[in-house]
A and B are shown apart, each in its own frame.
Chain A
């Protein structure tokens, strides 16, 4: 029997172990995703869209002839990049915002990198959407029509490797933006050297021990089972979009700005989404727009959905990192230097966010006590698929080098790496040691058996003649505290208290599986506990409809778990005030003389004089009490907590196969909002983390640039049979501002997994492999066996 976590303070609902509020609907198959909602039977006359895809890694259309496609029975419209509807659209980017805030075209985060056409004549990677779109009576016909389009391509030389792409004479992917494929300096990310604190050279000179190393993170994909899908119905009256984008308000803004429609004429509807994990970065998918144009052209609703293979068009950005660290013999770090080269792929999107913004946050939260720090980065265009957010944004890539140099340094100093971390890392607003980090490491090391199991690299016991075991870990600062979310602006919620005491909760967000809906119902019940309301008597509205809902709080930064609950704590006070005001004439007392406990209102000095809230509300006009309020996240700088992963592995030195035996995931949450949901995130994240560490990689044919494994048979995602025992540990050590002072954990649960596994492999076999995924051939090569 596994043990529950120990809450810092007693709460009625928040932090509990319980089922999700949508558990039965999901387990029974009743929940409808966008592909279920947009069946032909529900949208009579609906057409299906398909887009042409480039067979070349880098090419331009010289000539296009769509006449055969147009003649195919069942084809209703064929449009090309030459049509004014597309030619007139402004160049764009698929990463207007990180999802934290809604932005306009002019204020998009990466306005210097408007490198995408909604439908253009230029393709930058194999399967790039380009040239023409079709709307037909069936997907089969639309597919066939696409195959009937004759294109004369100007095939251009291409480049897949970022280091090759940086060399003079390399093919240029977006010459209008950069003449050497390196993304130029812009406002958000800053210079190539984007942090230069103190003097790193002097710091290395002062150091008694200096180590350095590299790490490589390959192309993994989010692999949401809910393939991209949308339906657009653009009538004379308005444009309606159903989609599985997780940003309803931003999608509305995107469509409004790109298609020049007033906001009230764009209605975006999103319901449950079958997994997000950062795919597509944000809500500005160009396919919304070409589907919309087809709908207007045909006067019919048009559905566009990816096949699974097409849905491989998002990925985690691959990055090569170099790291160097210098320290005194006692382990005091004097200097830190990291340099990265990120493979941006065909379009910039949020690339710089991964390469510069995320490491800056880490520096603020972990390197504050290190006198000399230098961070340098290059985002490089290539002809691979565009890449960026995937359960984190650059954090996993950074952790791969961070955990590496820590392990290297500790070995050289003959010091326990746990002690090395505690000695050096902590945030700007606290003195060392960082209490959160200390406890995270204590709990994790105890659970994995760190002291007993760790041995000199490669020197442990041998099992069954060829198998060696080892343990490893890695740490990372969280990046989801309230003060990091202020850019969201006002977060609105609404509580409707019905006369019978039940509650309608409007805390709009697109539910992608994170469980924030349950967190918010618990937060609402907690805040209304003076009414004696239980979560079962609260209805949470799961549809975000930009015509009828308030602005949605986007599931980015894993922070919706607490952000809306913080606002609900404020709203509940307003509900209380309104109840007391209504009770005044009935109880012949002023509000200040009244109290409410467990749904009963009474005069404080005379507790027998009272009535229930239901009795109160069933009188008079039966109008529910509605409180709508909003709050900007608290900007108080409270630092962030830590999280860590520990791993135990067994390496077969004959076959090179790595088996993960045990994983421990430790998250300091500030406040646990919903324990079963938090543990689901912790345990669940390991599937992607372990997959990225050992098996998951998009493989290209280097000769043509063709991706070879856009399917789940050749792109290996761990299944139930592959996963080891995972122990989730929830802590409440750090606390942020606000009622709960919580911190999001979902993305970070897998940030440290690859590095923890890699360090464990080193501990097992005594040879370092710094290039993930660690497939058997890499192990055998490292062992000198191939």
Chain B
């Protein structure tokens, strides 16, 4: 197994986030800074999704494909939706991560996904395993673009797979979430 320093040297210059060998790795997760000791807590090849799920117990994000093809592991980093299975934990050093556990209880996106049931579309979730990923991408989209067009919604969410096939209802839920946000004046 390569040592952390070796991995960092390799990345030097290409990854802005890992410019020097850190003596500790600091990641802000759901509003709270966590300090990690390299090697002990975070190995060089550890993915962010592994750290969040297996080490810290944030199981809202799911690891399904583990290769960036399904979107189930989506979390928000510095306001943008990212695939946590495609990012090394060390790359999150100094950054702010929000997992679905970090959303408020009455988050309008969560509410809109949960309430979706109008005739003609079905519910926005069935088995529910892809849902947290969709919710986080929607949250990031609406943060940036509070009133997206349907084409923008489809573009933003087309990196996610829902095998139960709730896409039409998910798109409706995004629209409803957008309306809720406008109403709340967030």
Contact = CB atoms under 8 A, between A and B. Distances in A.
A226 B70 CA distance: 12
Given A711-B65, A717-B161, A723-B167, A29 B60 contact: yes
Interface stretch (B6-14, B18-26, B76-84, B116-124): B116-124
Interface residues of A, number: 71
Contacts, number: 213
A465 interface: no
B127 A19 contact: no
B107 to A, nearest CB: 8
B93 interface: no
B154 A679 contact: no
Interface in B48-76: 53-54, 57, 59-67, 69-70, 72
A711 B9 CA distance: 31
Contact of A679 (B110, B120, B129): B120
A512 interface: yes
Contacts of A8: none
Interface residues of B, number: 62
B103 interface: yes
Interface stretch (A20-28, A168-176, A573-581): A20-28
Nearest to B130: A225
B49 to A, nearest CB: 12
Interface string B117-141: 1111111111111111001000000
A275 B164 contact: yes
A42 to B, nearest CB: 9
Nearest to B174: A720
B129 A33 contact: yes
Interface in A542-569: none
A513 B111 CA distance: 19
Contact of B161 (A3, A685, A719): A719
Contacts of A4: 119-120
B159 to A, nearest CB: 7
B101 interface: yes
B94 interface: no
Contact of B131 (A26, A308, A685, A686): A26
Interface in A18-46: 18-20, 22-33, 35-36, 39-41
B97 interface: no
A2 interface: yes
B115 interface: yes
Contacts of A3: 119-120
Nearest to A305: B63
A679 B66 CA distance: 31
A348 interface: no
Contact of A308 (B65, B114, B122, B166): B65
A445 B148 CA distance: 34
B117 A676 contact: yes
A739 to B, nearest CB: 24
B99, B118, B123: residue with the most chain A Cβ atoms closer than 10 Å: B123
A429 interface: no
A681 interface: yes
A680 B67 contact: no
Contacts of B125: 20, 23, 26-27
Nearest to B173: A27
Contact of B127 (A23, A36, A274, A723): A274
A726 B130 CA distance: 21
B89 to A, nearest CB: 15
B114 A720 contact: no
B157 interface: yes
Task: Classify the interface of chain B: helix, strand, loop or mixed.
Answer: loop
Contacts of A719: 157-161, 167
A726 B123 contact: no
Nearest to A20: B123
B170 interface: yes
Contacts of A28: 60, 100, 103, 105, 107, 110, 114, 132, 135
Interface string A670-713: 00000111111111111110000000000000000000000111
A687 B165 contact: yes
A307 B63 CA distance: 9
A227 B127 CA distance: 13
Contacts of B164: 275, 513, 680, 684, 687
Contacts of A284: none
A277 interface: yes
B114 A17 contact: no
Contacts of B61: 29
Contacts of A726: 168
A32 B57 CA distance: 11
B129 A17 contact: no
A671 to B, nearest CB: 17
A29 B133 CA distance: 9
Contacts of B110: 24, 27-28
A273 B128 CA distance: 9
Interface in A369-404: none
Given A27-B114, A39-B57, A683 B128 contact: no
Nearest to A277: B163
A727 B168 CA distance: 10
A31, A680, A719: residue with the most chain B Cβ atoms closer than 10 Å: A680
A514 interface: yes
Given A28-B103, A513-B128, A720-B170, A683 B161 contact: no
A313 to B, nearest CB: 15
Contacts of B113: 23, 27
A656 interface: no
A19 B126 contact: no
A275 B165 contact: no
A712 B70 contact: yes
B122 A677 contact: yes
A680 B169 contact: yes
A285 interface: no
A137 B120 CA distance: 49
A28 B131 CA distance: 8
A27 B131 contact: yes
Given A17-B119, A227-B64, A684 B101 contact: no
A637 to B, nearest CB: 32
A203 interface: no
A40 B54 CA distance: 7
Contacts of B27: none
A725 B171 CA distance: 12
A239 B169 CA distance: 42
A308 B127 contact: no
Interface in A640-689: 675-688
Contacts of B132: 28-29
B64 A225 contact: yes
A231 to B, nearest CB: 14
B109 to A, nearest CB: 8
Contact of B117 (A19, A36, A687): A19
B162 A687 contact: yes
Contacts of A2: 118-121
A649 to B, nearest CB: 18
A513 B127 contact: yes
Contacts of B153: 720
B186 interface: no
Contacts of A17: 117-119
Given A28-B107, A32-B59, A676-B119, 15 more contacts: A26-B125, A26-B131, A28-B132, A29-B101, A39-B53, A225-B163, A679-B122, A680-B123, A684-B126, A685-B165, A687-B163, A687-B167, A719-B161, A720-B167, A720-B170
Interface of B: 53-54, 57, 59-67, 69-70, 72, 99-101, 103, 105, 107, 110-111, 113-132, 135, 153-155, 157-171
Sort A-B residue pairs by CB-CB distance and give the 9 closest, nearest first.
Answer: A2-B120, A513-B127, A29-B60, A680-B122, A274-B129, A684-B165, A26-B128, A687-B165, A36-B59
7 contacts: A1-B120, A26-B128, A29-B59, A36-B59, A677-B126, A683-B122, A711-B65
Interface of A: 1-5, 17-20, 22-33, 35-36, 39-41, 222-227, 272-277, 307-308, 512-515, 675-688, 711-713, 717, 719-723, 725-728
